[in-house]
Amino acid sequence: MMALAENRYGKSRIRLVRVKRHPERHDFAEWMLEILLRGDFERCFTDGDNSKILATDTMKNTVYSLARDSSAASMEEFGKELIDFLLRRNPQVSQAEVSISEKAWEHLVTGGKPHPTTFVQTSSERGTTRVTRSQGGKFSVTSGLENLVIMKTAGSGFEGYIQDALTTLPPTADRLFGTALRAGWKYSADRVAFVPSRAKIRGVLLAVFAGHESKSVQHTLYAMGEAVLESVAEVEEIELTMPNLHCLLVDLSRFGQDNPNEIFVPTDEPHGYIEARIRRNG
């Protein structure tokens, strides 16, 4: 005998651009949203009964309609508004989850000042958030960033690792250290100043990456996560993923030249892949 196990459904890749038109400037945001619902949907699967199903097209339209009147200043706040709306109107839904990613648009600087209505996409970095709430429950908010590409040309080495018959990598006390950082941090409360908190966390991550005397990617990853927890009280835990974007030193000796750690070949396949979650004790 069979029984339906866990299930959920929703709408993915809902694209939204929102312009807030203030008298002195405009604010521009580009988001990608995903909505996932859990609830009393068993008869849809087993009997083809759609009477408790909210159409995914309706979810898409809800995003646009809610965005029109929303006062949310952050992805996190909009996610909370959207979940409240969906749970209030759909008692058959036991839990709603909204994930949002944001492209990196900023005001164009011209003449030394930000232009009030012109924007530039500054990098491939994306901000992220995942907001979840069950009927009658509290919000869970995990925010983050992805594809923050960073590189340092000093203060990094890799020595003292296992050397065996298959080892070809030479130890070094001076190497290039690049990564495409992905970070996700879980808040201990759902009422947080999300925009300044995000800026502070990002700043801490970058400052530690730049200043840390790295003995390995793992060593720097832990120092970055530890610094965030020490600096931002409302963060409960943080997960960091740091693939190693290698730059391989070119052997110029066959051309009668030296290479004092200046000429490299960049390669990202295959690459080292390091991740860890750092949390508070007690």
Q: Which residues are known catalytic residues?
A: 11, 56, 246
The gap between the terminal CA atoms of the chain, to the nearest Å, is 44
Contact yes or no for 255/230 (Cβ under 8 A): no
Chain CA centroid to CA 115, Å: 27
* CA within 13 Å, CB half, 224: 30
In terms of phi and psi (left: phi > 0; alpha: psi -120 to 50; beta: otherwise), the region of 262 is alpha
Cα-flanking dihedrals φ and ψ of residue 199, to 5°?
-60, -40
Give which of 140, 93, 122 is closest to 236, Cα–Cα. Answer: 140
* CA within 13 Å, CB half, 162: 3
If one counts every other C-beta atom within 10 angstroms of the C-beta of residue 181, the result is: 22
Please enumerate in sequence order all residues whose Cβ is within 8 A of that of 53, keeping only pairs 6 or more positions apart, or say none: 41, 44
Q: How far apart are CA 175 and CA 153, in angstroms?
A: 7
Give which of 58, 224, 86 is closest to 150, Cα–Cα. Answer: 224
Contact yes or no for 178/247 (Cβ under 8 A): yes
Single-letter amino acid code for the residue at 126? R
Cα-flanking dihedrals φ and ψ of residue 12, to 5°?
-120, 160
